[in-house]
Protein backbone atom coordinates (compact mmCIF):
# COMPACT_ATOMS: atom_id res chain seq x y z
CA UNK A 1 0.00 0.00 0.00
CA UNK A 2 1.22 3.50 -0.77
CA UNK A 3 0.02 7.08 -0.67
CA UNK A 4 0.34 9.64 -3.48
CA UNK A 5 0.00 13.39 -3.51
CA UNK A 6 -2.56 14.62 -6.02
CA UNK A 7 -3.08 18.31 -6.77
CA UNK A 8 -6.20 19.43 -8.59
CA UNK A 9 -4.69 22.49 -10.25
CA UNK A 10 -6.28 25.95 -10.59
CA UNK A 11 -7.92 25.06 -13.91
CA UNK A 12 -9.66 22.02 -12.38
CA UNK A 13 -10.88 24.10 -9.41
CA UNK A 14 -12.04 27.03 -11.56
CA UNK A 15 -13.86 24.72 -13.97
CA UNK A 16 -15.75 23.00 -11.15
CA UNK A 17 -14.22 19.57 -11.81
CA UNK A 18 -13.08 18.70 -8.28
CA UNK A 19 -15.98 16.40 -7.45
CA UNK A 20 -15.88 14.60 -10.79
CA UNK A 21 -12.12 14.02 -10.52
CA UNK A 22 -12.21 12.85 -6.89
CA UNK A 23 -15.05 10.49 -7.80
CA UNK A 24 -12.80 8.78 -10.35
CA UNK A 25 -10.23 7.94 -7.68
CA UNK A 26 -12.88 6.68 -5.29
CA UNK A 27 -14.68 4.65 -7.95
CA UNK A 28 -11.36 3.00 -8.82
CA UNK A 29 -11.17 1.82 -5.19
CA UNK A 30 -8.57 4.28 -3.93
CA UNK A 31 -9.01 5.95 -0.55
CA UNK A 32 -8.87 9.69 0.10
CA UNK A 33 -6.89 9.97 3.35
CA UNK A 34 -6.19 13.72 3.24
CA UNK A 35 -7.77 16.71 1.50
CA UNK A 36 -7.63 20.47 1.64
CA UNK A 37 -8.46 23.46 -0.49
CA UNK A 38 -5.61 25.93 -0.36
CA UNK A 39 -3.80 28.70 -2.16
CA UNK A 40 -0.19 27.75 -2.93
CA UNK A 41 2.30 30.46 -1.98
CA UNK A 42 5.16 31.35 -4.32
CA UNK A 43 7.55 29.87 -1.72
CA UNK A 44 5.71 26.54 -1.59
CA UNK A 45 5.50 26.43 -5.40
CA UNK A 46 9.26 27.03 -5.56
CA UNK A 47 9.89 24.14 -3.17
CA UNK A 48 7.50 21.83 -4.96
CA UNK A 49 8.85 22.58 -8.44
CA UNK A 50 12.53 23.02 -7.49
CA UNK A 51 13.63 20.39 -10.02
CA UNK A 52 12.21 22.57 -12.83
CA UNK A 53 13.75 25.91 -11.81
CA UNK A 54 16.15 26.00 -14.78
CA UNK A 55 13.52 25.07 -17.36
CA UNK A 56 11.95 27.74 -19.58
CA UNK A 57 8.39 26.91 -18.47
CA UNK A 58 9.18 27.35 -14.73
CA UNK A 59 8.10 31.02 -14.28
CA UNK A 60 4.78 30.39 -16.02
CA UNK A 61 4.23 27.21 -14.01
CA UNK A 62 4.72 29.00 -10.70
CA UNK A 63 2.49 31.89 -11.83
CA UNK A 64 -0.23 29.42 -12.84
CA UNK A 65 -0.04 27.30 -9.68
CA UNK A 66 -0.27 30.37 -7.43
CA UNK A 67 -3.04 32.07 -9.44
CA UNK A 68 -6.04 30.42 -7.79
CA UNK A 69 -6.88 27.82 -5.14
CA UNK A 70 -5.96 24.17 -5.62
CA UNK A 71 -7.27 21.01 -3.97
CA UNK A 72 -4.54 18.82 -2.53
CA UNK A 73 -5.29 15.18 -1.84
CA UNK A 74 -3.52 12.26 -0.25
CA UNK A 75 -4.70 9.16 -2.13
CA UNK A 76 -4.00 5.72 -0.63
CA UNK A 77 -4.17 2.22 -2.04
CA UNK A 78 -2.34 -0.75 -3.47
CA UNK A 79 0.01 0.68 -6.14
CA UNK A 80 -1.67 4.07 -5.68
CA UNK A 81 1.06 6.06 -7.42
CA UNK A 82 0.89 4.10 -10.68
CA UNK A 83 -2.90 3.76 -10.52
CA UNK A 84 -3.29 7.53 -10.06
CA UNK A 85 -0.90 8.29 -12.91
CA UNK A 86 -2.82 5.95 -15.20
CA UNK A 87 -6.10 7.62 -14.26
CA UNK A 88 -4.56 11.04 -14.93
CA UNK A 89 -3.40 10.22 -18.48
CA UNK A 90 -0.63 11.72 -20.58
CA UNK A 91 0.75 15.10 -19.46
CA UNK A 92 -0.87 17.09 -22.24
CA UNK A 93 -4.64 16.95 -22.58
CA UNK A 94 -4.39 17.06 -26.37
CA UNK A 95 -2.43 13.79 -26.29
CA UNK A 96 -4.17 12.05 -23.35
CA UNK A 97 -6.36 9.05 -24.07
CA UNK A 98 -10.12 9.21 -23.71
CA UNK A 99 -11.18 7.75 -20.38
CA UNK A 100 -8.37 9.48 -18.48
CA UNK A 101 -8.86 12.66 -16.48
CA UNK A 102 -6.75 14.76 -18.84
CA UNK A 103 -8.14 13.01 -21.91
CA UNK A 104 -11.74 13.63 -20.90
CA UNK A 105 -11.45 17.14 -19.47
CA UNK A 106 -8.43 18.77 -21.10
CA UNK A 107 -7.15 19.99 -24.46
CA UNK A 108 -4.46 22.44 -23.36
CA UNK A 109 -0.76 21.68 -23.34
CA UNK A 110 -0.30 24.27 -20.56
CA UNK A 111 -3.31 23.75 -18.30
CA UNK A 112 -3.29 20.04 -17.50
CA UNK A 113 -5.69 19.91 -14.54
CA UNK A 114 -3.83 17.61 -12.18
CA UNK A 115 -0.49 16.70 -10.62
CA UNK A 116 0.38 13.29 -9.21
CA UNK A 117 3.53 12.04 -7.52
CA UNK A 118 5.77 10.12 -9.92
CA UNK A 119 7.32 7.70 -7.43
CA UNK A 120 7.51 6.77 -3.75
CA UNK A 121 10.34 9.19 -2.91
CA UNK A 122 8.58 12.08 -4.63
CA UNK A 123 5.31 11.16 -2.89
CA UNK A 124 6.94 11.25 0.55
CA UNK A 125 8.59 14.62 -0.17
CA UNK A 126 5.46 16.15 -1.69
CA UNK A 127 3.09 14.89 1.00
CA UNK A 128 5.37 16.45 3.65
CA UNK A 129 5.26 19.79 1.80
CA UNK A 130 1.47 19.97 1.61
CA UNK A 131 0.25 18.12 4.71
CA UNK A 132 1.23 18.65 8.33
CA UNK A 133 1.39 16.08 11.07
CA UNK A 134 -2.00 14.43 11.57
CA UNK A 135 -3.50 15.71 8.31
CA UNK A 136 -3.07 12.42 6.43
CA UNK A 137 -5.19 9.81 8.18
CA UNK A 138 -5.12 6.04 8.36
CA UNK A 139 -8.47 4.35 8.73
CA UNK A 140 -10.03 1.06 7.75
CA UNK A 141 -12.84 0.91 5.22
CA UNK A 142 -15.24 -2.00 5.36
CA UNK A 143 -15.52 -1.88 1.58
CA UNK A 144 -11.81 -2.67 1.11
CA UNK A 145 -12.70 -6.36 1.39
CA UNK A 146 -14.51 -5.84 -1.92
CA UNK A 147 -11.73 -3.76 -3.52
CA UNK A 148 -8.72 -5.97 -2.81
CA UNK A 149 -8.41 -9.75 -2.90
CA UNK A 150 -6.65 -10.47 0.38
CA UNK A 151 -6.83 -14.27 0.17
CA UNK A 152 -3.03 -14.53 -0.25
CA UNK A 153 -2.44 -12.29 2.79
CA UNK A 154 -1.56 -9.22 0.68
CA UNK A 155 -3.71 -6.90 -1.38
CA UNK A 156 -4.03 -8.00 -4.98
Q: Could you list the residue range(s) of the whole structural domain that residue 26 is in?
A: 2-131
Is residue 147 included in any domain, yes or no?
A: no
Q: Which of 15-19, 134-138, 143-147 has the lowest mean pLDDT?
A: 143-147
Q: Is 90 exceeded by the pLDDT of residue 101?
A: yes
pLDDT of residue 145: 87
CATH number at residue 108: 3.30.70.141
Is residue 74 included in any domain, yes or no?
A: yes
- Mean pLDDT of all residues in 118-147: 95
Does 48 qualify as catalytic in the annotation? no
- Mean pLDDT of all residues in 93-106: 96
Q: How far apart are CA 77 and CA 22, in angstroms?
A: 14
CB atoms within 10 A of CB 33: 19
Is residue 105 included in any domain, yes or no?
A: yes
How many structural domains does the chain have?
Answer: 1
| Residue 149, C-beta contacts closer than 8 angstroms, at least 6 positions apart | 155, 156
Q: Is 90 exceeded by the pLDDT of residue 156?
A: no
Candidates 48, 52, 76, 115; catalytic one: 115
Is residue 109 included in any domain, yes or no?
A: yes
Is residue 60 included in any domain, yes or no?
A: yes
Is residue 155 included in any domain, yes or no?
A: no
| Residue 101, C-beta contacts closer than 8 angstroms, at least 6 positions apart | 21, 24, 87, 88, 89, 113, 114
Band of pLDDT at residue 153, cut at 50, 70 and 90? confident
Is residue 149 included in any domain, yes or no?
A: no
Question: Between 3 and 109, whose confidence is greater?
Answer: 3
pTM for the predicted model, two decimal places: 0.94
Q: How far apart are CA 156 and CA 149, in angstroms?
A: 5
Amino acid sequence: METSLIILKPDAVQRGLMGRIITRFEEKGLQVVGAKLMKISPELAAQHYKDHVSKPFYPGLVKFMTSSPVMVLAIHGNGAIAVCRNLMGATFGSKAAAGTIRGDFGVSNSFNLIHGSDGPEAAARELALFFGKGEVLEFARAGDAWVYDMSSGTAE
